[in-house]
Structure formats: structure tokens, C-alpha cells
Amino acid sequence: MSNEAILHDQHFGTHDAPHAHEHHDHESFITKYVFSQDHKMISKQFLTTGIIWAIIGGLFSVIFRLQLGYPDSTFPWLQDLLGHWAKGGKLDPEFYYSLVTMHGTILVFFVLTAGLSGTFANFLIPLQIGARDMASPFLNMLSYWFFFTASMVMLSSLFVQTGPASGGWTIYPPLSALGEASEGSKIGMDLWLVSMALFIVSTLLGGLNYISTILNMRTKGMSMTRMPLTIWALFFTAILGVLSFPVLLSGAILLLFDRNLGTSFYLSDIVINGKILPNEGGSPILFQHLFWFLGHPEVYIIVLPAMGMVSEIMAINSRKPIFGYMAMVGSLFAITSLAFLVWAHHMFVSGLNPFLGSFFVLLTLLIAVPSAIKVFNWLTTLWRGNIRFTPGMLFAIGFVSMFISGGLTGIFLGNSALDIHLHDTYFIVAHFHIVMGVAGFFGMFAGLYHWFPKMYGRYMNNTLAYIHFWVTLIGAYLIFWPMHYEGLAGMPRRYYDFSSWESFKMFAGLNEFISFVSIIVFAAQLLFVVNFFYSIFKGRKVTTQNPWGATSLEWTTPIRPGHGNWLGEIPEVYRWPYDYGKDGRDFIPQTEPVGEHESKH
Amino acid sequence: METVAVQPKTKLWTGGRSPFNVSYGKLMMWYFLMSDAFTFGAFLISYGTIRFSQNFWADPNHVFNAFPFAGHTNLPLAFVSIMTFILILSSVTMVLAVHAGHNMDRKGVEKYMVFTILGGLAFLSCQAWEWTHLITGDHQVLVNGAIQHWGTTTTHNPWGHEVMFNGTEVATPGPIAFGGYFFGITGFHGFHVFSGVVINSVMLIKTRLRHFEERGHYEMIEKAGLYWHFVDLVWVFVFLCFYLI
């Protein structure tokens, strides 16, 4: 049996339209909406689950901001909502830590990893490279259902008597390893670890699918350098995930053993409540290494897909080719490689050897180079473009703004000497919220507004979208900019109440202001949610196949593509996806053969 | 085969085909194995950092010197060598199964898959015996001036320094990280072997039901084989780190 015959047995390329078309007619509700194997439906499942998580995670931040902004007030409705965690309308300190921990966990993993990559990798990869579906639709479905199970386990931890995990989203031992250490380190922590293990399986199944689809299933003519930058970004994201999440899995398994089997991987010489523990010889720093080996690539897992989508949306709406395509691909690659080599910059003050630290400083600061290349390329793409300020485009520009503001403070933090002062202060809260939190969300919103017509065959409401954009952009700066000052003044993160600290009393007004704005911004996000769900059913219908005048393949499918995406043959590709404003034409689709007298790009 | 035209090199990446000439399934398996290698890598590196931060570590020749039905005879590493040999033999039978699959020889595939599964089960049984022996085997340990009887567990390590006590040589408690890492990592590897046995059994059933014959190729056997060889390779590292060093 030759290799060729096996390859021909696979459904790519040879799986022709008549089949692909037929079987979706007799799909039942269960196979179409629940256990769907269609990449587009799976993407919507990830998206919807992600939106629900984002509302929960966002609400948590509003609740703990109430405590930080109004430390002397009580909110009786909080007791109705949270019961014994907010007796008399005052947030319980233990539960405050749970809220902070769950806010981080939910937003980082469940929203900005699964919600972002899960949605757009599933939706865009087959559509933009010209494939009928993912390499393995079945594993793709499993990927969602592992994510769903992980979500259910994490959600259930919110309802246990002792509360969810409360050791911070980085769950450093020994706090997280010892049930006696805090309420949140009891069953809530076990549920957190189990949920994350399931989540890692989900990311792995998804990532393997994304990689093999992109490598193996590109349509004829779609060479790697003719792929839209979204696909490049999602490709590198998947590689990052496949190689870094397993290390977190190892770390989580060892932590579970320490918690439940009496091992001493991370524990040594501990006295708790006057009792000496028998654990000996372990190292909490070991956990930090294992955690940050994932934890750092994780921030790129969040921001790379956003970068890819922003590049794409920016070129389309500037009606100009993306500036420096190969430089964009190269810088994505550089960021991906460096992502694995900088994890210890999160550990400068952990007792890490300062000599070793200096290497991590160097490698960390090196990331500024590819990041700056990307920023300049986005700005030069905008330069003298014929810009259309669609909501997607506004969010893409907003992303660049956030990435610059948050990236610059990264240069401060990457220096191990400065980090001694700045670590674990509000400066770092401001830095990572702007550069990966808000920026990640901006990329996600840009993608949603832009591809919503392809997803649902309808448009979202523009007026609501513009309100959403401006409130979010201005609000995000109003929330996080002042935090830089607080952090420079040494105000530590994760504290429950600053009013008893003489040195931070002066920030009471600023904290109140931040809390006030965060409530408004949260409300603006609800506006988005309303717009999103309303538009799915009642939005203005899309009437043309290619509403944005884009070149890439997803806009050659029917307005509401069925399972299999294209009705006839999969189109062949003859050019890169950025032929905008070329030879006097507004745009030239990828499917158009290169003309005889066409100029070279 | 002889008539297959060699594609010019530049055509490999232009789409419409797999650039590596492999199916998506094999590609996924390779990436999965890379990912899994990181999991084991993280475990073994953790083990290394903790082990070499200790002043003393148990001598494997001393810990692993038992053999079933051999009583107290000192046979250092004999049993684990047999375990390793069994696992490597099962890899050989796996290769033969894949080879039989290439020749569309269903009977051959069935035969060698049975041998491979038996090899996996034998390895797991050996591991079960070794674990039981370590956990239940009882050793004199000098703790706070009195003799106690300990097995090797995740919380107790009876393989510390030897000291003279009442005229005899007695061990003191050793670093407790030993048990955690030993059981943790060999257990995780054993879990992989177990999964491999399950996968191989499913493959055997599918072969018997002639699924692959009807499909016209035995690629699933190849993919199971990739996994099995990987598990074997990981054992080589585990063996090196726990038994030889």
C-alpha cells in the first residue's frame, strides 16, 4: 500500500461538493447545534460560551472594584447575590481573593484563549485557506466539549461551600497546595486544577487540528506565503499552545499530588497554625518555573490571534496592501520563538539567581524588536490609506493604540532592577490589562464586528457599535492609566482594603474614580452583548457576497455557507490576499489569475 | 510505485496537497507526541532539579535489587532490565505489525498486535509487582533513636544514609522526594503504556473486523505504532533517570 493511496483516501481536495452538500439537509437539531462537527458551528459554540464567561468574569471585577472604590460602603444587594460571602453587604476578604482569582482565570483562559482562538481559529482557518472543514471535525467537536466540561467544573467551584480557588490566577504553592492555608485552597482549588487539566486537553485537540489543517489542507495555489496574516497568527498560536500547555499540565498534576497524596514536590519546611508539616525537600520556585513556562507563552496565545485579525482588518479597511507582509510573518515567528525563552522575567524577585536573571532581561527586551516591527507596519498600512472607519476597523486601530501603550510599560518591567520596585504593584496590573487584556478584547471585537456578516449572514448595529467602541476605548484608558501612578507609588496589587494604609490613603479618590468608570465600561460591554444577540436574529441582512470588498477566500462562499463551505469546487488561489488598490482596481480577489500585464507587488 | 512522478520541489508547499506527503492523522500524531514530550520533559527536569538540590539520594542498585520468588537475593536492576527488555520486544513486534500492514497481510497484523498487547500487559504487570514490592517491603529505619519499619511511599523513604546502631548498620530516613517522583513519573508512564494497550486492543479488534482491509490500508496501525514507540522511547529516559543515574 503506497503512501499516495492513503493520502488520496483522505477527504481533502477530493471530497467533492455534491456529498458535502447533501448531508447537511437531513441534520437533526442535535447534530446541527449541539454535537456539531461543522467548524463554523463549533466556532459559534466557543464564542457563545466565551461571551457568557466574559460576562461572569467581568461582573466579578465590578464586584471587587466596588470594594476597592468604596471600602466604607455596604451594598445590601451583594448579600442577596453572594449570601455568606457578603454578610451585611460587605465583601468577605476571603471571597475578595476568590473573585480576583476567578476573574483572572476566567478572562485569561476561558475568554481570551478558548473564546478568542477557539472562535476565530475554527471559523477562519478552513474558510481562509480553502478547506471544507477542519482536518478532523470529530476531534474538533471533542475539543469544544472538553472546553465545555472544563467550564462546568470551573463553574461548579463557584457554588461549593468553601468557595472557588483564591490563591491568584497563578496559584502559587504553598498557599494553593495546602487546604489548611485558606478557604479557597480547599475543594475549590482541586476543582480549579481538574478544570484546567480538561481545558488543556481541549486546547491540545484544538491546536493539533489547527496545525494539521493549515499545513495539509490548503487549497490549490494557497502557498504558505499566500495565506492571510490571520492564518499565520493562528498557526503560531496553535504551536505555542501545543508546546507550552503540556508543561502546565505537568505542574498541575504535581500540585494535585501534593494536595492529595502527601508528596513534597513544592513543599518544604512549612509550619501552619503552629503545626510542623512533614513535607521536605520540595521547591515552590519549581512550580513557578513550570507555571510560567506556559504562563508567558499564554500571553502571546492571547495576543497573536488579535494581531493577525487586526492586520487583516486594517489592510481591508485602508484599501491598501498590508505593509511588510514578510516582516509581519517574520516578527510573528520571532515573537513565537522568544515566547519560550523569557518566562523567568515573572520571577525576578522569587530568589532567582540575578546572573541568570540578566539573560532573561536581555531576551525579554529583545521582544520589543518584533513588536515594534509590527506596530510600525500597522501604522504604515494606515498611512495615506483610504480608511473606512467601520466598527471592526476602529477596534483594530484601538488595538494598536493599546498595544503601544501597554507595550511601552513592558520595557520598564522587563528590567530586573526596576522590577524590584514595580513587581506586584498596580503598575503591573495596568501593564498586562492594557497590553493583553484590553488589547486582546479589542482584537476579538474587531474580528467579531468584521466577520459577523460571514458568521450569521447579518450585520451588527453600527450606532451601538460606535458607542461600544468609544466608551470602551476611553473607559479602558481612564481605568488603567491612573493605575500606573498608583503602582509607581508602590501600591500593591491583590490587597483588600487600602484605607488603613497611610501611604495609600491619598489614592482613595482615584480608586473610587477607577471603580466608577469600570462600572460604566462593563455596562457598555452589555450593550455589545445585546447588539450581538439581537443582530443574530434581527440584524440587517447581508445581501452581497463580499460586503467589505475583501480579497480572501471566505468571501467567495455563499452568504450563509452550509457544511462544506463552497457549493461547487473549492476555488483555486493565484495571488496573495493583499491586492488592494492595485493597477487602478480597488481590490483583486485571491481567486483571480494574475493578468499578463499586471504589475508585481 | 515506479511510475509515480517526482513532484518538483517548489510544488510541495503551493497547496492542494500535503507538503510532507503525510495524512493529517499522522501529522497530528507527530505534533501530539511533541506535546507529550514536553509533559514528560517537564516532569523529568523537575525531578532533576529537586534531586540535585539534595545532599543525598538513594542508590538505585540498592533500592531495585529484588526479583520475584528470589527471596532476599541481591540482584541489582535485574528485574527492571527484564521489564525494559519486554517493552523493547513489544516495540519490535509493533514494527512487524506495521510491516505486515504494508503488505496487506491481515493475519500477520493480528498476530503481531496480539504479541504487542501481551508485551504491554506483561510490562504493566511487572510494574505492578515492583510498586507493590516497594510499598509493602519493610525496611528498618532509625528514626529519633528508635527503629521503625518503613516501606517506600510518597511520604516515606527508608533509603537514607546508613549508620551504626547497636552494632548493626541501619538506614536513616532519605529524601522523601524520591517516592513522589518515582511513583509520579513511572506511574504517568505506566498510564501511557495502559492507554497504548487500550489503543492497540481497539486496533486489533478493528483489524479482526476487517475494517482496515476494506479501507485498503493499515495506516491506523502505523499511527498506533508511532505512539507505542514513543512510549517506549520515554521509558528509556525514565529508566536512565531513575535506575541508572
In angstroms, rounded to a whole number, what is the distance separating the alpha carbons of residues A302 and A250?
Answer: 21
pTM, rounded to two decimals = 0.94
Interchain contact, A216 vs B217, CB within 8 Å = no
Q: Does A4 sit within 8 Å of B4, measured CB to CB?
A: yes
Chain A interface test: which of B4, B18, B226, B230 (most A C-beta within 10 Å)? B18
Q: Which of residues 268-287 of A touch B (CB under 8 A)?
A: 278-283, 286
CB contact under 8 A, B24 and A9: no
The predicted structure's pLDDT at residue A22? 44
Nearest CA-CA partner of B128 in B75, B183, B90: B183
In a domain, B59, yes or no: yes
| B15·A221 Cβ contact <8 A | yes
- Angle of helix B24-51 relative to helix A187-216, nearest 10 degrees, comes to 140
Q: Are strands A580-582 and A585-587 parallel, antiparallel or unpaired?
A: antiparallel
With contact defined as beta carbons under 8 Å apart, do A71 and A498 qualify? yes
pLDDT of residue A32: 86
Yes or no, beta carbons of B14 and A222 under 8 Å apart: yes
What 3-state class would DSSP assign to A535? Answer: helix
**Bridge partners of B146?**
B143
Nine cell digits for residue A301: 496565545
For residue B32, is it within any domain? no
B184 close to A (CB below 8 A) = yes
Q: Which residues of B touch A286 (CB under 8 A)?
A: 46, 49-50
Measure A206 CA to nearest chain B CA, in Å: 11
CB A522 within 8 A of CB A58: yes
* Dihedral, CA of residue B157, residue B160, residue B163 and residue B166, to nearest 10: 10
Residue B227 resides in a domain: yes
A12 at interface of B, judged by CB pairs closer than 8 A: yes
What pLDDT shows up at residue A273? Answer: 85
Q: Do B184 and A253 touch (CB under 8 A)?
A: yes
Collapsing DSSP to helix, strand or coil, A169 comes out as: coil
Quickly count: other Cβ atoms within 10 Å of residue A432's Cβ: 19
Structural domain boundaries enclosing B188:
40-67+74-244
State whether A216 and B27 contact (CB < 8 Å): yes
Which position has the grid cell 509487582? B129
Pairwise CB contact (< 8 Å): A13 & B17? yes
**How many angstroms separate the CA of residue B50 from the nearest CA in chain A?**
7
- Cβ–Cβ below 8 Å for A215 and B27: yes
Around A593, how many Cα atoms within 13 Å sit in the side-chain half-sphere?
2
Q: What is the rounded average pLDDT of the residues B36-47?
A: 97
Cα–Cα dist A120/B160, whole Å: 55
CA dist A472 and A446 (Å) reads 13
Least confident span in A73-82, B6-15, B154-163: B6-15
Query: In sequence order, what are the residues at sequence separation of 6 or more whose Cβ sits closer than 8 angstroms to the Cβ of residue A182?
Result: A94, A97, A166, A167, A175
Residue B20 forms contact with A (CB below 8 Å): yes
The residues, ordered by sequence, that sit 6+ positions from B127 with a Cβ below 8 Å of its Cβ are: B83, B186, B190, B193
From chain B, the residues in CB contact with A126 under 8 A are none
Beta bridge partners of residue A425, listed in sequence order = A492
Least CB–CB distance from B34: residue in A243, A251, A281: A243
Chain B residues with beta carbon closer than 8 angstroms to that of A218: 15-16
Only one residue has cell 492555608, namely A181
Q: Is residue B121 part of a domain?
A: yes
Cβ proximity of B175 and A281 under 8 Å: yes
Any A CB within 8 A of B21 CB: yes
Residues A323/A555, Cβ–Cβ less than 8 Å: no
Q: What pLDDT does residue A601 have?
A: 63
| H runs (alpha helix) in A501-562 | 508-538
B195–chain A Cβ distance below 8 A for any pair: no
- 8 Å CB contact of B24 and A219: no
Please report the ipTM that was assigned to this predicted complex: 0.92
Residue B7 lies in a domain: no
Q: Please indicate whether, in this complex, the C-beta atoms of A281 and B23 are within 8 angstroms of each other.
A: no
Cβ partners under 8 Å of residue A492, min gap 6 = A424, A425, A426
Contact between chains at B175 and A281 (C-beta distance less than 8 A): yes
User: A with B: how many residue pairs have Cβ under 8 Å apart?
Assistant: 162
Contacts of A356 in chain B (CB under 8 A): none
Q: Which parts of chain B are beta strand (E)? A: 139-143, 146-150, 162-165, 168-171
CA–CA separation, A464 and A168 (whole Å)? 35
Shortest distance, CA A250 to any CA of chain B (angstroms): 6
Q: Residues 114..133 of B with a Cβ closer than 8 Å to A: which?
A: none
Q: Omega into A561 within 30° of 0, i.e. cis? A: no
Distance from CA of B70 to the nearest CA of A (A): 31
Q: Residue B26 domain-assigned?
A: no
> Residue A218 is nearest to which of B15, B20, B54, comparing CB atoms?
B15
Say if residues A491 and A423 touch (Cβ distance below 8 Å).
no
Partner residue opposite B27 with nearest CB, options A212, A220, A280: A212
Residue B138, pLDDT above cutoff 70: yes
Q: Are A584 and A595 in contact (CB under 8 A)?
A: no
Write the CATH number for B163: 1.20.120.80
CA atoms within 13 A on the CB side of B151: 10
Query: What is the nearest CA distance from A153 to chain B, expressed in angstroms?
Result: 23
Chain A environment of B35 (Cβ under 8 Å): 204, 207-208, 242-243, 245-246
**A125 vs chain B: nearest CA distance in angstroms?**
14
CB A244 within 8 A of CB A298: yes
Q: Do B155 and A139 touch (CB under 8 A)?
A: no
Q: What is the CATH number of domain A41-587?
A: 1.20.210.10
Residues of chain A with pLDDT under 70: 1-26, 601
Residue identified by cell 477596534 is A395
Q: Does B110 reside within a domain?
A: yes
User: Out of B24, B154, B175, whose CB is closest to A212?
Assistant: B24
Chain B: residue whose CA lies nearest to A240: B35
In the numeric block, the cell 483610504 is attached to: A386
Q: Distance between alpha carbon A120 and the CA centroid of its chain, in Å?
A: 10
Buried b or exposed e, range B62-75, using 16+ CB within 10 angstroms: ebbbbbeeeeeeee
- Shortest distance between the Cα of A54 and any Cα of chain B, in A, equals 29
Interface subset of B 141-160, CB within 8 angstroms of A: 154-155
In angstroms, the CA A544 to CA A558 distance is 9
3-state helix, strand, coil in chain A (%, to 5): 70, 0, 30
Task: State the average pLDDT over residues B80-96.
Answer: 97
* Residue B48 placed within a domain: yes
Question: Can you tell me the distance from the alpha carbon of A281 to that of A152, in angstroms, rounded to the nearest whole number?
Answer: 36
Q: Name the nearest CA neighbour of A304 among A517, A121, A568.
A: A121
The domain total for chain B is 1
DSSP string over A45-64: HHHHHHHHHHHHHHHHHHHH
Nearest chain A alpha carbon to B102: A1
Cβ <8 Å between B23 and A7? yes
Question: Which residues of chain A neighbour B154 with C-beta distances below 8 Å?
Answer: 257, 261-263
Chain A residue numbers with beta carbons less than 8 Å from the beta carbon of B215 are 9
At B227, list the grid cell: 505512539
Does B226 contact chain A (CB < 8 Å)? no
C-alpha distances in angstroms, A107 versus A71, A440, A448? Answer: 25, 10, 17
